């Protein structure tokens, strides 16, 4: 399989250049002006060519509740989310397709799906999401979301003595499921990778983390987790461990150069130094952090400390979208209000590098993805620079990151296979997908979450809020 993209605009160190790009067997074979056409010729005139971005943290099945959950902090928001989850395999399939499509059409070629598992159908859930991602052709990193403590354990006890119901499945049974999933579905060469992904310190025992570390070492898997998303989790870590969550995760060996950590809002300077030392990656989910009132992650401090940072949309019911370009924009400019020194602010070009190479580094694939370089995988996106939202002709990357680009993705290739052409996904019928999602859902505005009602008083007391 060979093709040549002709006359596309690419960023150079400080400017732009018009080049041709030859792709052979899924890899970038040459980048230079006026190359011979090999294979099919693709006209890149008036289009910006960038490496695909990585949607480095999401939960696909949350698509079913986007727009539905009222303004609540994470701990109560989660309670409502789980009260109304009502997932089945058909919904898992459709929301994985939807997540893939929205990621592709906002510049992403890879998705890290911290996938919520249907109890009793864990294996089938993963098989179904895998099938959806393979059908679309997006590069998929499936991180089955596991825990071994019940939801109420995620809220600090404070002064009160809280006892929690045990989780319905044993830690070892969960680890056994993940090992079997790895054997059956972990196929990095085919664009599907499995990650170990305990949800976070708030709902996971050390035994679960340690079991995941063993699987990660045995099968060469990347590691994923939420980390210190909320103030409540910072308190909980002190209650549980008597030290910060980051210190604890370092002690048990979870942090590494192939560990990506979603959120990282409530870290101290000492914690930041640990992330730098262990070469861990922070996945910044700015829209989710704003939506749930979690706080502003200290992204400029991470960058100054040399911590790798990339972007995620987070699940679609805490966002409530899967627009990667929106996450990149907000995730860049949000931090300008945290530091008067504008020399630390994130430039549009830095944002693009964080979203592409930053994501690749976190997945231990910096040698294969994330830049326009000869020998790397052809995970590429062409943006239409004649689209009204990218006009007038000023700085294309400035427009893409700081503007409000709408329908600007013209073509996408993953592993050299074209899966978006003329702004449309070519591998699945998106009109059919829209109808299916429409038919599998209902308009509603008023619903009452029983679990939120049960947890709210305790949450308010622990967090020092008036009764
Ligand atoms: Zn998340």
Which residue ranges make up each domain of the chain?
A: 2-50+377-427, 52-362
pLDDT, position 157: 80
In the predicted structure, residue 121 carries a pLDDT above the cut 80? yes
Name the CATH architecture for the domain at 2-50+377-427: Roll (2.30)
Q: What is the distance in A from the centroid of ligand 1 to the CA of 179?
A: 22
> Measured in angstroms, how far is the CA atom of residue 69 from the centroid of ligand 1?
15
For ligand 1, the distance from its centroid to the CA atom of residue 341, given in whole angstroms, is 30
Q: How much is the mean pLDDT over the chain?
A: 96
List CB contacts of 300: < 8 A, sequence separation 6 or more: 335, 338, 339, 344, 345, 346
Instruction: With beta carbons less than 8 A apart as the criterion, state whether 64 and 87 touch.
Output: yes
Q: Report the distance separating Cα 396 and Cα 325, nearest Å.
A: 14
Band of residue 165 on the pLDDT scale cut at 50, 70, 90: confident
CA 451 to chain centre: 27
Nearest Cα neighbor of 44 from 293, 459, 380 is 380
Best CA proximity match to 245, nearest among 228, 260, 232, 262: 228
Closest of 86, 229, 96, 210 to residue 148, by C-alpha: 210
Residue 58 alpha carbon to ligand 1 centre in Å: 6
pTM for the full predicted model:
0.97
Distance from Cα 80 to the centre of ligand 1, integer Å: 15
Ligand 1 centroid to Cα of residue 104, in Å, is 19
38/158: higher pLDDT: 38
Distance (Å) from CA 450 to ligand 1 centroid: 22
Alpha carbon 436 to its chain centroid, in Å, reads 24
Task: Give the angle subtended at the CA of 325 by the CAs of 86 and 55, to the nearest 5°.
Answer: 55
pLDDT given for residue 354 in this prediction: 98
In this prediction, residues 258-280 reach a mean pLDDT of 98
Measured in angstroms, how far is the CA atom of residue 445 from the centroid of ligand 1?
Answer: 24
**pLDDT tens-place string over residues 399-437:** 999 999 999 999 999 999 999 999 999 999 999 999 999
Cα 100 to middle of ligand 1, angstroms: 16
Ligand 1 center–CA 315 separation, angstroms: 6
CA pair distance 54, 313, nearest whole angstrom: 10
- Considering the domain 52-362, what is its CATH architecture? Alpha-Beta Barrel (3.20)
pLDDT tens digit sequence for 26-83: 999 999 999 999 999 999 999 999 999 999 999 999 999 999 999 999 999 999 999 9
Helix segments in 395-449, DSSP class H = 396-402, 430-439
pLDDT band at residue 162 under the 50/70/90 scheme: low
Report the separation in Å between the CA atom of 225 and the middle of ligand 1, taken as the mean of its atom positions. 8
Ligand 1 centre from 46 Cα, in Å? Answer: 37
pLDDT at 159: 67
Q: How far is CA 325 from CA 104, 329, 356, 437, in A?
A: 11, 6, 12, 23
């Amino acid at each position: 399989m060979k093709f040549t993209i002709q006359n596309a605009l690419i960023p150079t160190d400080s400017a732009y250049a018009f080049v041709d790009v030859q792709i052979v067997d899924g890899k970038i074979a040459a980048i230079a002006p006026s190359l011979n056409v090999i294979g099919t010729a693709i006209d890149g005139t008036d289009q910006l060519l960038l490496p695909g971005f990585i949607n480095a943290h999401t939960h696909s099945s949350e698509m079913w509740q986007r727009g539905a959950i009222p303004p609540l902090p994470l701990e109560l928001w989660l309670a409502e989310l789980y009260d109304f989850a009502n997932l089945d395999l058909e919904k898992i399939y459709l929301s994985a397709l939807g997540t893939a499509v929205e990621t592709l059409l906002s510049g992403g070629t890879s998705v890290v799906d911290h996938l919520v598992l249907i109890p009793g159908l864990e294996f089938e859930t993963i098989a179904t999401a895998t099938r959806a991602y393979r059908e679309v052709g997006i590069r998929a990193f499936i991180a089955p979301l596991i825990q071994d403590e019940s939801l109420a354990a995620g809220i600090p006890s404070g002064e009160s003595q809280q006892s929690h119901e045990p989780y319905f499945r044993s830690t070892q049974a969960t680890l056994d499921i993940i090992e079997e999933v790895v054997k059956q579905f972990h196929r990095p060469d085919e664009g599907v990778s499995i990650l170990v992904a305990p949800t976070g310190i708030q709902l996971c025992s050390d035994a679960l983390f340690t079991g995941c570390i063993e699987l990660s070492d045995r099968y060469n898997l990347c590691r994923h987790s939420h980390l210190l998303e909320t103030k409540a989790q910072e308190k909980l870590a002190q209650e549980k461990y008597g030290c910060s969550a980051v210190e604890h995760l370092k002690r048990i060996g979870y942090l590494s150069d192939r560990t990506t950590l979603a959120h990282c809002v409530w870290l101290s300077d000492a914690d930041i130094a640990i992330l730098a030392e262990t070469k861990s990656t922070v996945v910044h989910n700015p829209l989710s952090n704003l939506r749930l009132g979690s706080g502003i992650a200290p992204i400029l401090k991470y960058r100054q400390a040399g911590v790798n940072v990339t972007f995620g949309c987070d699940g679609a019911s805490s966002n409530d979208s899967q627009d990667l370009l929106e996450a990149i924009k907000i995730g860049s400019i949000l931090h300008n209000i945290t530091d008067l020194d504008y020399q630390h602010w994130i430039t549009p070009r830095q944002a693009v590098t964080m979203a592409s190479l930053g994501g690749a580094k976190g997945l231990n694939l910096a040698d294969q993805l994330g830049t326009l370089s000869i020998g790397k995988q052809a995970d590429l996106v062409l943006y239409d620079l004649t689209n009204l939202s990218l006009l007038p002709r000023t700085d294309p990357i400035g427009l893409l990151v700081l503007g409000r680009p709408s329908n600007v993705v013209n073509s996408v290739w993953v592993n050299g296979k074209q899966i978006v052409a003329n702004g449309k996904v070519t591998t699945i019928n998106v009109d059919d997908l829209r109808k299916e999602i429409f038919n599998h859902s209902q308009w509603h505005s008023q619903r009452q979450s029983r679990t939120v009602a049960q947890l709210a008083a305790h949450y308010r007391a622990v967090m020092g809020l008036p009764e």
